[in-house]
Every structure is written in structure tokens, then in C-alpha cells.
Chain A
Amino acid sequence: DAGVIQSPRHEVTEMGQEVTLRCKPISGHDYLFWYRQTMMRGLELLIYFNNNVPIDDSGMPEDRFSAKMPNASFSTLKIQPSEPRDSAVYFCASTYRGGGTEAFFGQGTRLTVV
């Protein structure tokens, strides 16, 4: 398996534009997480899905953020409209049910909003 795949790796956009980040989890994993990482706040959980269903989105900062998981092999995180303070690295991770399971992270998408 190629691991968790995220795209794009880098995104530079202007304030006010819509941004869509994509994630393909590891096949067979039934949990998918979206994280945001900044120097100031470290890794923050935004939302996670179990079997394609959003379980906890309390970490989503504002209504400008939305996430979907239309099937077991694809998820998106959308920011509309984007703002400079959204600049961060966004990680997607997947794991599977069972004690002690490891969260496998993608390479991340570095988002810069200017």
C-alpha cells in the first residue's frame, strides 16, 4: 500500500478563494482524521470519520471549514472563503478499529493564504 495520499502537497491561494484538500486513506482503514499543524498550536484535530460518517467535528474552527467523505477511499477538506490565518500544514491520517492502532499520516498539504 502506498500509505495515506494527500494532494496537493503545496497550495498557495489568495484570501477569499476556495481551497479543497484531498486525502486517500490506506485501504481497509475505517477511521480518517483531518489535522492542522501550526508552529503556535502544534497538531490540532479538526474532524474525524468512522466508516465515512463524521463522528466529531468539534475541532473545525469555523463554518468556513467543511469536510466530506463520500466513500471509504476519499475525503476532502474545504475552506471557503480562505483567510491568511488558515495558513498551516493540513494532515490526513487513517487507522483501523482495534486497541493500540497507529494513526498513519499522509505527507500533508502546506497551505499558504496570501
Chain B
Amino acid sequence: KNQVEQSPQSLIILEGKNCTLQCNYTVSPFSNLRWYKQDTGRGPVSLTIMTFSENTKSNGRYTATLDADTKQSSLHITASQLSDSASYICVVKGAGNMLTFGGGTRLMVKP
């Protein structure tokens, strides 16, 4: 069964600190992996996309990594800001256009 597991479920950090969110998946075949950011009361918005051959991709203060061998991805947030407070969802695209969603990590950045 295709699954995407994220950890931690929730995280509280102080403004300016770094943090790393984890995503493990069992989706097969694998097409790509996206990290989405979902602000409270809004729909998810894509941050980064990783394909099989990519190991690292950055989008501003967000850096995503992918290890296709171990089927793990991480999202690193550098110098966190209050606006980073949101849920971060790992989504893996498999066969066709099927998307498997992780449960998300709820991040709270405190001043």
C-alpha cells in the first residue's frame, strides 16, 4: 500500500532557528515528491518538487533533499520567520496522476 509518513507531527521553534522536517514514503512506482505549505484556512501551495534524479533543491530559505534509495525526504527551513508557521505536507506522485499525501507537520514559530 502506498504510504507517506511525516515526522514530527508538530514542532515549536523560536524565530530565527532552523528546523528539519522528515518524510518517508513507500509509493511505487515513484514519479516525484513535492513539499506543500498550508497556511491556516488556506489550501496547500507547492514549495518544491523533487524528481528521482535530484538530491537537493532550494527555494529561498527552504531546502528539500531526496534519497530515492531509502525513500526519504527532508525539508530544512533556515532562519525561521513567524510567517513560516503552517502545516507542511509531503506529497508523492506515483503512477498516473495519483498523489499520496503525508499527514503533515504542524510548525509553529514563536517570537
**Bound pair (A, B):** yes
A-B contact pairs, 19 of them (CB 8 A): A31-B97, A35-B101, A41-B103, A42-B101, A42-B104, A43-B44, A43-B101, A45-B101, A50-B97, A56-B98, A91-B43, A91-B44, A99-B31, A99-B51, A101-B97, A103-B99, A105-B44, A105-B45, A107-B42
Interface residues of A (CB under 8 A from B): 4, 31, 33, 35, 41-45, 48, 50, 56, 91, 93, 95, 97, 99-103, 105-108
Q: Which residues of B approach A to under 8 Å, CB–CB? A: 31-32, 34, 41-46, 49, 51, 89, 91, 93, 97-99, 101-104
**What 8 A-B pairs are tightest by C-beta distance, nearest first?**
A105-B43, A42-B103, A43-B101, A102-B46, A100-B32, A105-B44, A31-B97, A106-B43
Collect the chain B residues with CB atoms within 8 Å of residue A4's CB.
Answer: 43
A-B contact count (CB 8 A): 51
Q: Which residue of B lies closest to A31 (CB)?
A: B97
Q: How far is the CA of A31 from the CA of B99 in the complex (A)?
A: 12
